[in-house]
Structure 1
């Protein structure tokens, strides 16, 4: 077999490589992942930048230090940067922060006492609601004041047409009016804004319960729990009978149902036809996170009321922009209340808009290439000796549910999750694809999902039992399929077979 075109990427290298605005970071060995989760000094020396909502960007650290010196802030306080003054009000109110600082800056600043549990709570909340300050904003600011001598060079769309390009692309993809599209500085801020809007609209109708359908992305669940005292989770989406029975009693008190199509990382799809009929029966808005489906794989317009998408993923394709979107469906009653959903969206920095506008022009072609590669890679995995179970959007148990919204026969979500009948660490450590958080990239990207998303569950017997209960294997590898030559992708998986040959 010829040598693989994929090569080892050292731990701590940005993904994409040599890009200061990268939203992922290389963790090439399982021990790197464990060390990152346990925050060992050795790993913190290597990983300077990672997924932006989880690790403070180096430019934001520089900017915080600059602000601290500029305004002569006491060393007793940590300077925390936020995307806006509105975000300052939200965080300060929630955590009773009264250490006001008078500044004249185009962003928000709060001061949090060092050595307190409050600091971690604040940082976690910011992570969940996605009101981080843009790394591109920090770069421009620091360059203007002379802290940085150079800027990262990248292709940008013209400023005057960038916002229209993004909104028009999404409006056409979702078959909605352009006025029904709102942008956010992250996918989580988009979800946060929708949750806040729903709570405001529905509380006056005594609809105070939010239903979570499926095991959703970690921060989505955290946002739900932050804003609703009453939540109901239905983790098994393969059978809607329990949900139907619940709605018979509480349907008129349900504010909304929120789900992912398909789910991450198990790629399951709910029975959309039945779910839509239940929502209609009780007049319940259906919120769908369509990030994994993308509007180019599935037509969800007949089913959802509100769509959210992390544009950081497939819409960007290069893992170097943090942005999200809210798309309101004109088909349903709730669309006329767009102001309530859009008013909680944080402003998006213009350079991020320009970068995404440049990248989003390839959105449809990128998704089609990834879908075609995914379909063929699934077929290879069915013959791969060391792969045990394959989770993908058209697996037999959810084929009917996914097909109902498919646009064409190549409409495979660009994710595949697999388990192995051989040693997980050996396989993970020896595959030379990019390995780190995030998905939707043009380059194939692997992630040991449970280790990075739910490491705390792995650490306890109770946690491991819970993962088993919800059918989430600890040694699950999530594969975000890229647009590389499919034969080269397959050859890299074949290459690892030699480690298990007798």
Structure 2
């Protein structure tokens, strides 16, 4: 039994809105980063902030033909405010390297939907795509399909032969490449069409607005931790009379403190915008080695940031030195971090924040509020709902949660109430609500699997003294190939335990299980050959993203930092690092998979 998938197909299979794509070998990932045609031409999907979905591409072609000139390209956004931010970004970033490049805004009213179009010269595409990627506020593939279906029901604009050619088939960023649908994608379209038919028959093509509103209310309640239970229908979970309870986040959070965004990066972007707005202008601090786009947001908007890339207790000493001579506006940290699974000393950071008057923004995506309670230490908690909260790898989403006990709660709440826009497409919210109903039980199951696997791998590592293990089934001629198992149970555990929900806390929050250590871990190996052999041999899905119900592996540093491998290495993120997001497969099967991969890695030493 394996879960492997052919190069370029969607992960999981037959998922038209999949957020991951199969890159099954180490060389596939390298060739993807280098833009090799054999990989690019095989891809039918990709992570949405990096890969333009074919449906979005179709709508962009229509807008390009209708509003653009032959030397212009365009990107599509759900509101005029977001489109304006993109235009400002293009002008500001281009002015750093030459004359400012102007962009044009227009909008296209589809039947029952409106898109906002940013048109810019072709040579500005590398800058424009940065906004799409970093801010995570582009339109979703479901919104694009909704627009296309509306056109099909009315009148489709005539196609010009040069319409498609105006938008480059091979744009300068390899992540944004698109291609004609393959057989697998056509099959997936058929499946999605059937599902869309079901939705249309039940609700009509234009889903009732109250259904989307109820789904979003249910999501906000679930994220706030105030739902007394999860009713089977979102129409119930989102209604006013559904039973609620005290927030399991431990900070009197209500659904009114939760803001939904189209992606996790959009939540981080909004949090940074809010921090810049409510506090005097100053740099931020990025504490720990973060997911790549978080650092880009802090660097490219506002005065910039200090990067304390290890995120260890001794880095707080450096932070104190910085604070002696300057002021900061906010500190951003992940709990735990991706991919090194380090947990910051939140109590100590909170003391500094209160003393020096800066905000703390915590990204809880990896830990998630089933396992950890970080709200008391944060002013703002952000999360990518795309990950384990959804689990199904078929919809994007993000959340921003305010701490009502925070020092700056009032000004943050006023700013968000004045500036936040609900641009989360209703149908995406409906899918997210359905996916997340069993979020807690899935999280606990993933916790158990991950802990079992990591204990096994640690026993076969240098740190676990694998060479003296009498229970190991590996060849006695093989030395340990695993150098380090990065997992919150072993890495900065004392800091993680400060926030982990214990049995007493679990009884307060959900009455079921205490928090675990999450489903994500990373491995480093004694040789590059061992890293590659391990990755190629493990028979799980392989592609970008994490937090899926199925096990998903990636050579993280290759995918996220291929153009800056030396820079990543100085923070401990090695080229050969393999990141694993554990799923809900049978534990015995998972152990067999990892045993097989380990044997392949150990065999490289004998060669």
Query: Which residue is 2:594 aligned to?
Result: 493
Tell me if the contact between 1:196 and 1:341 (Cα under 8 Å) persists in the aligned partners. no
Per the alignment, residue 191 of structure 1 pairs with 268
Cα offset, 1:48, TM superposition: 2.5
For residue 389 of structure 1, what is the aligned residue in structure 2?
Answer: 484
User: 2:162 maps to what in 1?
Assistant: none
Indicate whether 1:421 and 2:545 are aligned: no
The 10-residue stretch of structure 1 (167-176 or 188-197) with the greater mean CA deviation from structure 2: 167-176
Give 2:303's aligned residue.
229
User: Partner of 2:452 in structure 1?
Assistant: 376
Whole-angstrom distance in 1 between the partners of 2:321 and 2:120:
46
Corresponding residue for 1:174? 249
Contact 1:194 1:341 in 2 (8 A): no
Aligned: 1:74 with 2:69: yes
Q: How does 1:99-118 map to 2 (within 5 A)?
A: 99-101=104-106, 103-105=108-110, 106-114=114-122, 116=123, 118=124
Distance 1:231-1:160 versus aligned 2 partners, 3 A rule: closer
Residues 1:363 and 2:358 aligned together: no
Tell me how far apart the structure 1 counterparts of residues 67 and 515 of structure 2 sit (CA, whole Å): 58
Q: CA contact under 8 A between 1:84 and 1:346: conserved in structure 2?
A: no
Q: Cα distance, 1:421 vs. partner?
A: 3.4
Q: 1:167-204: per-residue Cα shift (whole Å, max 9, x none)? A: 1101115341111000001111111111111111112x
1:415 is displaced (CA, Å) by: 0.6
Question: 33, 36, 40: which is aligned to 2:36?
Answer: 40
| Residue from 447, 450, 456 that aligns with 2:554 | 447
TM-score, with structure 2 as normaliser: 0.76
Q: Does 1:163 align with 2:238?
A: no
Q: Match of 2:41, SS?
A: helix
Matched-pair contact (CA < 8 Å) for 1:316–1:359: yes
CA RMSD of superposed structures (Å):
2.1
Q: Judging changes above 3 Å, is the alpha-carbon distance between structure 1 residues 217 and 333 closer, same or farther for their aligned structure 2 residues?
A: same
Q: Which residue of 1 aligns with 2:494?
A: 400
| Contact 1:19–1:152 (8 Å) recurs in 2 | no
Which consecutive residues of structure 2, in runs of 5 or more, have no partner in the other structure?
92-101, 157-188, 200-206, 226-247, 461-479, 503-513
Residue 476 of structure 1: aligned partner: 577
**Contact (CA 8 Å) 1:296, 1:367: kept in 2 or not?**
yes
Other-structure match for 1:341: 416
Using CA pairs under 8 Å that are at least 6 residues apart, name the structure with larger relative contact order, 1 or 2: 1
1:125 aligns with 2:131: yes
Distance 1:410 1:183 in 2: 24
SS in structure 1 opposite 2:549?
A: coil
Partners in 2 of 1:492 and 1:279 — Cα distance? 45
- 2: CA distance, partners of 1:497 / 1:75: 54
Tell me the CA shift for residue 7 of structure 1.
Answer: 3.8
**What's 1:64 paired with?**
60
1:247 aligned to 2:316? no
How many positions carry a matched residue from both structures? 483
In the alignment, the residues of structure 1 paired with residue 561 and residue 422 of structure 2 have an alpha-carbon distance, to the nearest angstrom, of 28
